[in-house]
Structure 1
Amino acid sequence: MTDIESPEPVAEPAVPEPTAPGADGLPFGPTGLPGGEAPAKPRRTALKAVAAVVAAALVGVGIGEAIIKVHYSDRPAPVAAAPAAPSASPAQAWGAKSNGNHFGSLRDLMLPVPSGWRLGPDYKSIGNDHELRDADLDKALKETLADVPEKYRKDAENALSSLHIQGIGARTLAATDNSTTVTLVLSQYNQQAVAAENNSYGKWYTDNELYRVGPGVAGHAEAHCALPMLKAGDQLDYLQCYAGVGDLLVQMEVAGIAPLDQNKVVDLFRQQLDRLAIPGATA
């Protein structure tokens, strides 16, 4: 898959891909940054490694960690299927239902390109304004599973199947002054697994000394934001935010010239979450 490329060269330092990798080459986050809490058992260590491969390949979202929580904990709790959704109004093409499920295109559910921004570089295999569903999603998942060691592949297949992944979409933004790039990713799957995954990110950021405390998101207590530690003289800064909204795991990754305008980019995340609000998304 292709990582995000930098915007056009400018006099200032170029902005790298929003998911600046850790030493293991995976994105920042519970499945991607080294130095997390060591698993208690060898088998769980191996399974965490498998989940990290799945998560990294699955367009950077943390679905792998949800697989761990659903299937590979010492006392796994069954994940109930999401309740049946009521019929959607034919007059509304996209939005959220009162039971937490969203309907319509993920591209419609994503925040439109705001003033002062333009579509940015491609995000992995999805592009800069696209979603994967149906055959394309199945193909991506099969390619992901091909990277899992054969001895764990059946477990990974069952885990992914249990999440009932419906789609993954991404939209990237680049500031018109080329100072900042933003990636918004929506992953639609089992509500309980989304909630568990979002909770795991919150704990990871809180307990990990590799992160600085991130800003809050106005009106959205469920959102978690964090910034990796910087060294003196660093010219680039990063921010990562996550939130679970019903059946959607919402991810925002930011890379920009330091000092990063946190208020500006976090407000983009607020606007995205407002758009997905339950019981009804707003245009």
Structure 2
Amino acid sequence: MNDRTKRLVTTLLSAALVVGSVTGGAVYTGYVVNGADRAVKTEVWRKPAKDQYKSDTTPELFRGLGGEGLRQKLLPAPDGWVLGPDEGEFGNDTVLGKREAVALLKDESKGMDTRERREYREYVDDMGVQGVALRTYADSEDFDQVVGIQIIQVEDQKSIREVVRLRRALFDALGVLRDGPKIKGHPQARCFQAPENSKSELDGMMCDAHDGEFMITLTANGPKPLDLKASADLLRRQLNHLRSPGEFV
């Protein structure tokens, strides 16, 4: 990867953070659990932002809305989990279509000089972004562990691999993130646990994986001790579901 591509991909990673903490930025700052809406315990589903994939084909709304296309790729909340708090304006169970996803990423070029802005927007176009799906989950026992899963779909599979590779290289270069658990059956997935901080009551983890035209990112946040095994298993289920969306695993 040349310097120009590295610069553009780095900007793209920063732009992805706009979509919400589920994109991976939370591994640094942690999801603001103390400010998370605990009302999810009694209001397990909130109406998400309008999208063209929305459907009422899932009768158990606490597991997530049903639908087709990219929405079908999202894992329904399995036993032990319910839909989590909203991710800002995006809700807790949302799909952004091609136009919305591309516009969101391109909007991050504000502040760049004219040449960089043009190159960055061309790079986004070359990726062929098709959409973004996100869903948040909360453990149904005490609701203090929040997990977010985001799926980005693109036409250019090479660009997905490059983004994942560079993000991991950046995390490794920090030298402070701890290795997270392995994901059974998915050696291409990798997890990073937030730096150890004895003064903080919170902990966090970010995992990512790529499969064909999809990039999958999971973040888990909550008070110590964080149940890393439960979050890793949720990612395993998501990756299995991605390949066989008709099967609830």
Partner of 1:240: 206
Give 1:194's aligned amino acid: I
Partner of 2:85: 121
Q: Give 1 or 2 for the bigger CA radius of gyration.
A: 1
Within 5 Å, give how 1:12-161 maps onto structure 2.
50-51=11-12, 53-59=14-20, 61=23, 104-146=68-110, 148-161=112-125
Deviation at 1:147, TM superposition (A): 5.0
Deviation at 1:184, TM superposition (A): 0.4
SS of 1:125's equivalent in the other structure is helix
Deviation at 1:47, TM superposition (A): 5.4
Provide Cα deviations, 1:23-80, integer angstroms capped at 9, x if missing partner: xxxxxxxxxxxxxxxxx97x88975774454333354647xxxxxxxxxxxxxxxxxx
Task: Between 200-209 and 117-126, report the one with greater CA deviation.
Answer: 200-209
Deviation at 1:117, TM superposition (A): 1.9
The count of aligned residue pairs is 203
Give 2:17's aligned amino acid: A
Closer, same or farther: CA 148–167 of 1 in aligned 2, 3 Å: farther
Distance in 2, matches of 1:46 and 1:135, equals: 24
Closer, same or farther: CA 246–49 of 1 in aligned 2, 3 Å: closer
Q: 1:186 aligns with which of 111, 136, 151?
A: 151
Closer, same or farther: CA 114–148 of 1 in aligned 2, 3 Å: farther
Give 1:211's aligned amino acid: L
Distance in 2, matches of 1:168 and 1:48, equals: 17
Q: 1:261 aligns with which of 204, 224, 227?
A: 227
Give 1:157's aligned amino acid: R
Does the alignment pair 1:213 with 2:179?
yes
Give 2:209's aligned amino acid: A
Closer, same or farther: CA 282–147 of 1 in aligned 2, 3 Å: farther
Pairwise CA RMSD = 3.0
Deviation at 1:108, TM superposition (A): 1.2
Closer, same or farther: CA 202–234 of 1 in aligned 2, 3 Å: same
Closer, same or farther: CA 52–108 of 1 in aligned 2, 3 Å: closer
Distance in 2, matches of 1:105 and 1:147, equals: 34
TM-score, normalisation: structure 2: 0.71
TM-score, normalisation: structure 1: 0.63
SS of 2:200's equivalent in the other structure is coil
Distance in 2, matches of 1:204 and 1:54, equals: 15
SS of 2:184's equivalent in the other structure is coil
Deviation at 1:165, TM superposition (A): 0.0
Same amino acid, percent of matched pairs: 26
SS of 1:230's equivalent in the other structure is coil
Distance in 2, matches of 1:147 and 1:175, equals: 39
SS of 2:79's equivalent in the other structure is coil
Provide Cα deviations, 1:62-111, integer angstroms capped at 9, x if missing partner: 7xxxxxxxxxxxxxxxxxxxxxxxxxxxxxxxxxxxxxxxxx42221011
Partner of 1:196: 162
Does the alignment pair 1:174 with 2:109?
no
